[in-house]
Structures are given as C-alpha cells and as structure tokens.
Amino acid sequence: MKLNLKSKWTLAALTLFLACQSKPTDQRTMEETKEINFEFKVEKIGQWEGKDVFKYSLDNGFMEVEMTNFGGIISRIITPDKEGNMENVVLALDSIPQYYTGNGPYLGAAVGRYANRISNASFELDGVKYDITKNIGENHLHGGKKGFGVKVWDQAEPYDSEDAIGVKMHYLSEDGEEGYPGNLDTWLFMELTSDNEIKVRFESTTDKKTVVNLTNHSYFNLGGIKRDVKDHEVQIFADAYTDVDGQSIPTGDLINVEGTPFDFRIPKNLGEQMEANGGGFDHNFVTKKENSSDLQKIAKVKHPESGRVMEVYSTAPGVQFYTSNGMRNFKGADGKVYQPFWAFCLEPQAWPDSPNKANFPSAALALGEKYVHEIVFEFSVE
C-alpha cells in the first residue's frame, strides 16, 4: 500500500518539523518518492508510586501506536483493513491508569526479569542457589509478583531517525528484586517506522551474573477484536517445540512438529489446529537451536476477512505461542468483554526454564556482557 506522508511531529503543544523529503529530479524519481509524515504526541497522565507516567502516541500516516512508560506497555495498535477501516488490533484497557492495578494478563507489557516460567521458583548460577518469587503455584512466571510490566520506567524520552520515531526508557532492577541476583540495568527502545514496523529492543547489563529474558506480551486480534481468533491463518517457522508437563514446565525434550497440530510451518487455520490439539496453545516453539544475534522471521499471521497481516521477527531462540486460553470474562476497552481465544500472543523469548535445563540455550548474563533482544512486528494489508 502506497504511503503519502510528510514529516511532522507534535510533542504536547510544541511542534517540531523534521526534514524527510527529497526533491524529485525526474518523473521516475517523482513516482517513487514518498513524503513521510510522522506525528508524535506525549501526554502526562498522572503518577504511580511517586513517578510520572506518560502516554505516547506515534503515527506514520498508515498506522498508529500508543505506548506508555508504565510497564513499557504497548496499549493500542490501530491499523487499516483492506477497505481502509482503522481498528485497534491488540487487547487493551480504556485508559493507561487502568493498567496500574487491572492488568493481570500482562496486556502489552514488557515482561521480565525472566519471561515465562522457571520451575520450583529457583535456579543455580556457578553453584549458588537463588530462590525467586513463587507466583504460579510452586513456580515462577514473568518476573514474579511485581515484574517489569508493573514498573514505571524512568528517563523516558522521544527520539527520531530518518525513517522512524520512538521512545526510549530505562529501568534498574535492583539486586535481590523478586530474588534475582545483580543490579540489572535495562534500556527499552520502542519505535514505529515508515515501513509499518513496530520495533522493540531491550539492552541490559549487570554487575553480577544473573539470568535475563525480556519480551513484549501483546495480545493480537487482527480482526479488530470482535470475536475469537480461530479464523486467523498462522505460520510459525519452527520445526520443534519444547515439551511440557502438566504445570507447563519444560521436560527438557524437544518434539518435532511433523505430523502434529503444532506444525505451522505452512499457513494453517488456527481453529482447525486448535481442534486437532484438543484446545488452545501455550507452548514455546523452537526458532533457533542456539543463541545468536541474527534477526530472523519467526511467524506470519493473516486475518483473511480483513486482509490484515502481521509478520514477526526476533533475535531470540524461541517464541511462546499463546491463544489466551485463560482469558475469561475480562473487561477490556470499548465495553468489550474478552473471552478465551479472543487473541493470540507471539512472545519471542529464551526457552522457558532455561536456567534449570543444561541442554537449553543459556539465559545467563555475566558481568561485562550485554543482553540484546530485538523484536519486530510488521503490519501490512493483502
């Protein structure tokens, strides 16, 4: 879809103009030239635990994204369908303050210090055992009772480049927080590009060996959140998944997807795969067998009725595919009540319980090393 955009930012009452145009020199160049219109708005919406909370709205002329420094949350993604109708495609609450105490499902949040599960809420590093918070039975989930998704990130400020606008923010997870060792210093960068990508990047360092696994936990419904997502077509570029026990803790085994309902290597109707599986999905798919910095496409989802498409890229070795099985009678935005299977999550990540599985890619971070995780959600219409 051709974009006809010009360069303009609005920051509260202040408007800044960024030069993003080039003068065409011939007819061919004129046809290929596009004016890029970036609009950025920021609004202070209150305080939480003594810290200022802001809402940021990013617009590139094709799509709009809303985010906040509370929890590093992506709270809205508004995109057109094939008829040009603009709709939000992520589960949301009506206002940012509602996320302070009403976001049990981690809607849109930056989750950590360790996304997903750690068995028995404990692990060892260099022979030292660390007991971390139990918040899902005897196990640990998504960083504990007060993980990164309910913290106010500080030093938040906008930034721009020739083809993107974004917000960066910072959070220091102190030594001992939720039981984790080391002061983990993290920067989160979230931006909207002229190519209709939402780019998320985490960068962390520590002063003591620790474990880290950060991701974004958005719940997507490309149909505009009118019903469940069983009519979506899903493709996940993985030939194996990590087997789990009855508590969703990995057994340590990798299962080949061949001949199973987990085989999404070619596009599959989600509802049919769910029926074949006897219910929804909440599993880590193996996108790499070892850690690397390579950014690769890990998934593609299409909603045939609306024509909306989302492609997902990540540098992580796995992605948790979750079909919101546990969502039930949850009061969301715009008067909607979210039910099971009304959304799907694609959470790029380290493999669950990696700190306790020697055969899994390591999630340890040592002094002097830098953890970097890049995620890209790219939107289009077919």
Catalytic residue numbers read 217, 347
d(CA 127, CA 129) in angstroms, rounded, equals 6
Task: Give the contacts of 241 (CB within 8 A, at least 6 positions apart).
Answer: 254, 255, 257, 262, 283, 284, 285, 286
d(CA 88, CA 129) in angstroms, rounded, equals 44
Task: Extract the runs of DSSP E, i.e. beta strands, from 17-95.
Answer: 39-48, 51-59, 64-68, 74-80, 86-88
d(CA 64, CA 67) in angstroms, rounded, equals 10
Look up residue 358 and give its two tokens.
């020697």
d(CA 11, CA 265) in angstroms, rounded, equals 43
Local structure of 97: helix, strand or coil: helix
DSSP state of 351: P
How many CB atoms sit inside 10 A of residue 380's CB?
Answer: 17
d(CA 335, CA 263) in angstroms, rounded, equals 36
Of 138, 120, 186, the C-alpha closest to 355 is 120
Of 244, 238, 245, 241, the C-alpha closest to 268 is 238
